[in-house]
Amino acid sequence: MFIPGLSAVFTAASPHGPAAAPPVDAADLAVIMLWLTLSAAYCAATWRPGVIWPRRRTALWCTGAFLGAAATAGPFAAAAHADFASAMAVHLLLGMVIPLFWVLAAPLTLALKRLPVHSSRRLTRILRSGPVRVLSHPVAAGLVTTVPLWALYVGGVHIHLGHHPAALPLLHLHFLLSGLLFTYAIIGIDPNPHRSGVVVRGTVLLLTIAAHGILAKSLYATPPAGLTAAEAEPGALLMYYGGDAVHAGILVVFGYQTYSGARRREARQDARRGTPDTWGPVHPY
């Protein structure tokens, strides 16, 4: 029943047409500068002489920053104030797409390589701290991602936050941070002293995918308060299919990491037994 409504997603992002797009104001420029600063800081850290950093990770980080700027400033961000499908697209970008790109860009690893020794040790102590251990557990990260999402859309809170100039940036920040936390807990390639096992991470990932899909279907069947069915359906479609697309990418990375981990364990066992390694070389992401 979702297929007929897909075409509405592409027309909902700019309901008044390109000519009605408001000009970029000072607030938008400040937001764009923030994203550019994050991108420039990452790039500057990769240019330190003597250390080679994978270009694909730099590309992932810069792409995420570009998407973040497009989602939070300019015509697309302005359309999200009045259009549910556009608001849902912003949520998908900030809460799922950008976190996937940025986690695979390994910013913590880059920071540990580039920061002074005392700063690197401080960052390591933070990563090993109790609060980080609790928050980075897949169960906690999954709850932080899904529970506020249900309260936001099922409870109709998004109607009020979407028009509040102070609350909306905080909502965007929550989407980004909770998405980063969840993606880091499931498929993070940065150092994680408290990383859970494959079974725990895989189970939480599947449950989160199910919760996301159920929420999207419920929004399609029962529009949130303040929205008509015609307004809610394109956003629900985007949440369902767009979320599935990002989740598919996470599943691919998770499966690759699980397979690579099994190869490395087998190679270590072969080395201890003195038998040849029949797997071949292992190339981490």
Tens place of pLDDT for every residue, the chain, 285 residues? Answer: 444 444 444 444 444 444 444 555 788 899 999 999 999 999 999 987 766 899 999 999 999 999 999 999 988 888 887 788 998 999 999 999 999 999 999 999 999 988 889 999 999 999 999 899 999 999 999 999 999 888 888 766 666 665 666 778 888 999 999 999 999 999 999 988 888 999 999 999 999 999 999 999 999 998 887 788 898 899 999 999 999 999 999 999 999 999 887 777 677 766 676 655 554 555 555
Cβ within 8 Å of residue 199, ≥6 positions away? none
Q: How far is CA 33 from CA 5, 14, 68, 174, in A?
A: 36, 24, 11, 20
Rounded-to-5 percentages of helix, strand, coil across the chain: 75, 0, 25
Q: How far apart are CA 14 and CA 259, in angstroms?
A: 43
Polymer length in residues for the chain: 285
SS3 32: helix
Q: How far is CA 157 from CA 83, 153, 193, 225, 250, in A?
A: 15, 6, 36, 9, 28
Any idea where the domains of the chain sit in the sequence? 24-273
CA dihedral 197, 125, 170, 11 (to 10 degrees): -40
Q: How far apart are CA 233 and CA 228, in angstroms?
A: 9
Task: Give me the sign of the Cα torsion angle 20, 28, 62, 192.
Answer: negative
75-94 burial code (b ≥16 CB/10 A, e <16): bbbbbbeebbbbbbbbbbbb
Residue found under tokens 């015509």: 75
Q: How far apart are CA 185 and CA 143, in angstroms?
A: 12
Q: 106's torsion region: left (phi>0), alpha (psi -120 to 50) or beta?
A: left
